[in-house]
Structure 1
Amino acid sequence: MKAVQILGDKGNAHIALSDLPRPVPQGQEVLIRVHAAGVTADEITWPEVYKTPSRIPGHDISGVIAELGPDYHGPLAIGDEVFAMLHADRGQGQAEYATALDEEVALKPKTISHREAAALPIPILTAFEALSRYAKLEPGSRILVTGASGAVGTMLVQLAKRMFNAEVVALASPERHEYLRQLGAAEVVDYNTPDWESRLTVDAVFDTVGGLTLSRSWKTIKGKGSLVTVADPPPAWAFGGGEPKELEANSGVSYKYFVLSPDSGAMAKVAGMIDNGEVVCLSAVVFPVTEAAAAWSAATQRGRKGKIVIEFVS
C-alpha cells in the first residue's frame, strides 16, 4: 500500500511517500480502507510517531471498513463508512489502510464527504472534551475562544453554542469575523486590538493559541471561572511544572491543559449535529497522496483557510 512516512529525526525530519505492507487487523481491531486523512503539522515533533516501526503519521481518517479482526464483536460491519481518531501512540493513519479500535471509530456523517470527515476528528474531540469534561459552564455562560477561526476554535464556537447556549466571544483576525458570527459567535474581537483583554469579562476561556495570548486571556475571567488550553507547545505548568504565575491575580480560577482521548460516542453525537444541520463542518484543503510532502508543507502555513487533508481515494 502507499503510505506517508516521516523519515529522519525530529531535528531533521522530512516527508516521503513509500510502499509498505498492508496491516492485518489483530484481536478486536478493524481495518479501514482510508479514503482521506487529515494532517496535523505539529505531529512531526511528537515522540510517538518516531516509536512506530512504520513511521506513518496520521490520526484523523475517514474511509470504509474493509476487514474485522478475529475477536471483533462490535457494531461495525464491512462496508460501513466511518471516520476515526486514532490513539496518539497508534496513529499510522496516512496510508491506504489503517487499523483502529472500536473506541476510535464512529459512523461518518452521511451528509459530508470523506474529505470533509477526515478534517474533523481531532477538532471535534478536542472541543467536545474541553467543554464537557473540563469547563465549569452553566447554560448561557459567557466564554472566550482564542484562535477562534482555527480548526479547533471553530468547533469550540459551534459546540459551546449548541451544547450550552453559551455567549461566545471569538478572538480572531478581522477577515474571519463574519464567518465566526455565522457560526454563532455573539461577539468577535480582533486579536491585534491593544489591551483586548482589559475590555472583556467572561466566565471561561478556551485557548488554542498559547503563549502571550494565553497569558493575556487570564485577565478576562471573572470570579471562580475556568481556563482550558490545548495550545502546542503547552505552557510550563501543563505537566506538573508548578502553578501558572497568573494564578496570583486569579486565585479562584481553575485551569487545565489536556491531550484529547478517542471517544467514538462523542464523535457520533457531533456527526448527528452535522447531519441535522446544527454544526458546520470544516473546510478541507485537499492534496492527492502523490503530493503528500506539499500537503505537509501547507499544513505549517498560518492563515490557511481550512484543514489540510491527504486524499487516497478520489
Structure 2
Amino acid sequence: MRAHRALTALVAVLLAVLPTTAQAAESYPDPLPVTGQQIIHDPTVIHLKSGEYVAYSTGGVIGARLSKDMRHWDDAGNAFAEPPSWWYEYNNTGDPWAPDISRRDGRYWLYYAVSSWGTNHSAIGVATSPSGLPGTWTDHGKAFTSETTDTWNAIDPAIVRADGGLWMAFGSYWTGIRMVELNPRTGKAVEGATVEHLATRPDAPYAVEGAYVVRHGHYYYLFASYDACCQGVNSTYKIRAGRSTKVTGPYTDSTGKPMLEGGGDLLLASHGRYIGPGGESVFRDHGKDWLAYHYYDADDNGTPKLGLNRLSWTRDGWPAAF
C-alpha cells in the first residue's frame, strides 16, 4: 500500500511538471491542413491591412503566397521583379534567404539575407512597402553585414520592438544567435551597436539558427531551429525556445539552463510524415499567436511544405504548439 501511494505521488508530481517543459514526442501536433501552393521554405506570415494573408519565403526573388483564410494559398510571384544588383556581391545567382515581414509606422518592412552556403560573408537587407503585397517593395540596401573575420553570420533576420527600441535577432552556426539594435527611422543597424549573444551550442558546428523573438506577458521568448535543415527526409531540424525578462537576454529554458549553454525547451520535432520542422516565425492574428515553419513531407519525397500551428501558453508562461 505504501509503495502504491508513493508511486501515485510520483506520477502526480511528474504530471504537474510536464506541461511546463518540453512536449513529449507523441504529443507533437500536426500542422493546420492547407491546400494550394504548399511548397515553401523559411516562411514569414502576416495578415495584411487589405485582409489577405501573405507568406514570403526563401526561393525565387523572395517567393510570395497569398491566402484569404490561411487555409488555401496561391502562388503570388515574388517580392521583387528582379534581384537588386548588390545581392550578387554575396552569391552569383542573387538568391535571397529567410525573410521576415513586420509592420510599423504605417509601412511594411521586409528583411532578408543574402549569402552563400558555408560562409559568413553575408548581408541582411531591408525593403519597405505601403501594402506588403508582392511587387510593391522598395529595396533600401544593407541593414547589417558580416565578414569571414566575424564570429557571427548575418542571416535569418527577425525583428522585435522592445522598450521603445527596435532590435534584430539573427545568426546561423558561427557561435549561434546574435542580436543588434536598429535605427527605427532607417531600419538599419545602429552605428557602433554592440552585437549581443543570445544562444549557441557547446559543440561545433554550433547548429542553431532561424531565431525569432516575441513578447508575451512579462517575458521575451526566443525560438530557434536546432540541428540540420535542407536534407529532405534526412533533416533533423527541430524548434526550441527559451525566455528572458530582457530582449537581449540571458535566455533560459524551463529548467533554468541558459540558451548560451545549449538550453532550450523542445517545442516541435519530427513526427509521422512531418520531418524536420524549423525555419520558424511567429505572427499574431485576431488576438491569437501562430507558429509558421516548414517541414519535409515524408509522404511526398521530402518536399518542403508550409506548417501552421496555434501557439498556446502554459499557466507558467511557456509556449506550446497545438
TM-score for the superposition, normalised by structure 2: 0.27
Structure with more strand by fraction: 2
TM-score for the superposition, normalised by structure 1: 0.28
Higher relative contact order (CA 8 A, sep 6+): 1
